[in-house]
Amino acid sequence: SQQGEEDPQALSIQEGENATMNCSYKTSINNLQWYRQNSGRGLVHLILIRSNEREKHSGRLRVTLDTSKKSSSLLITASRAADTASYFCATAKRNAGNMLTFGGGTRLMVKP
Amino acid sequence: EAEVAQSPRYKITEKSQAVAFWCDPISGHATLYWYRQILGQGPELLVQFQDESVVDDSQLPKDRFSAERLKGVDSTLKIQPAELGDSAMYLCASSPQGELGTEAFFGQGTRLTVV
């Protein structure tokens, strides 16, 4: 079973444009994380936002968290062809040993 | 730079055979995860360890899958017998201890093909 659901499932944009991906989840969490995966490889951690935070930035990444709506968004600004990958949100479940479960992912293609 | 080590990278096995995967987490990481990822889908948590104890294994098909982390360091995931539907990428990850949760570091995975 998967805790989160990403939207859209696939996104295709031109280089230089911004990419926005959304994640919804179901239970109470301690934190929400975003990961990136290049085809056939392991996942790489991008950013972690705690349940008491509303927004966080890291380079060209901006993450927001709305715990009342149980949703998060990841914004990648000024996208590059090298950003082409799958992006997953993951939630650390509260009162469950921070059980870390993933959504189905958004497949991002950035065209040069 | 410390990494999560997994072996083998690739495994082809016949259905009904036994198969095992090994994971060595980053030194000092208390939490270890095993995930199964089917192509085009997100990782599905199979089992999560805190040191040598199981935190969650509710999605582990216990009739054929087993996982252990005997000394709270490295871990083995076993499938016996393997079925065609087990073909997937098996990912191991580890994270340092943190009351409110911390980032997970992933290995490169083991790609299993059952024929």
Q: Is pLDDT at A97 greater than 60 in this prediction?
A: yes
User: Is residue B91 classed as helix, strand or coil in its secondary structure?
Assistant: strand
Nearest-CA distance from B103 to chain A in Å? 7
The answer to whether B48 touches A99, Cβ cutoff 8 Å, is yes
The backbone torsions φ and ψ at residue B102, rounded to the nearest 5 degrees and listed phi first, read -135, 175
Q: Is pLDDT at A62 greater than 60 in this prediction?
A: yes
Check B33 against A101: CB less than 8 A apart.
Answer: no
- Segment B46-95, tens digit of pLDDT: 999 999 999 999 999 999 999 999 888 999 999 999 999 999 999 999 99
- Segment A69-92, tens digit of pLDDT: 999 999 999 999 999 999 999 999
Task: Quote the mean pLDDT of chain B.
Answer: 94
Check A101 against B101: CB less than 8 A apart.
Answer: no
The answer to whether A30 touches A49, Cβ cutoff 8 Å, is no
Strand blocks (E) in A1-112: 5-7, 10-14, 19-24, 29-37, 43-50, 55-58, 61-66, 71-76, 85-93, 99-102, 106-111
Q: Give Cα B64 to chain centroid, integer Å.
A: 14
Nearest-CA distance from B16 to chain A in Å? 25
At B41 the pLDDT is 93
Going by pLDDT thresholds of 50, 70 and 90, the confidence category of residue A41 is: confident
Check B44 against A50: CB less than 8 A apart.
Answer: no
Which residues of A lie closer than 8 Å to B, measured between beta carbons? 1-2, 4, 6, 30-31, 33, 35, 40-45, 48, 50-51, 88, 90, 92, 96-105
Q: Give the other-Cβ count within 10 Å of B52's Cβ.
A: 14
At A3 the pLDDT is 62
Check A96 against B91: CB less than 8 A apart.
Answer: no
At A2 the pLDDT is 54
How far are the Cα atoms of B4, B23, B48, B52, B96 from residue B72, in angstroms, in the given order?
14, 12, 12, 4, 13
Q: Is pLDDT at A4 greater than 80 in this prediction?
A: no
At A99 the pLDDT is 87
Nearest-CA distance from B96 to chain A in Å? 12
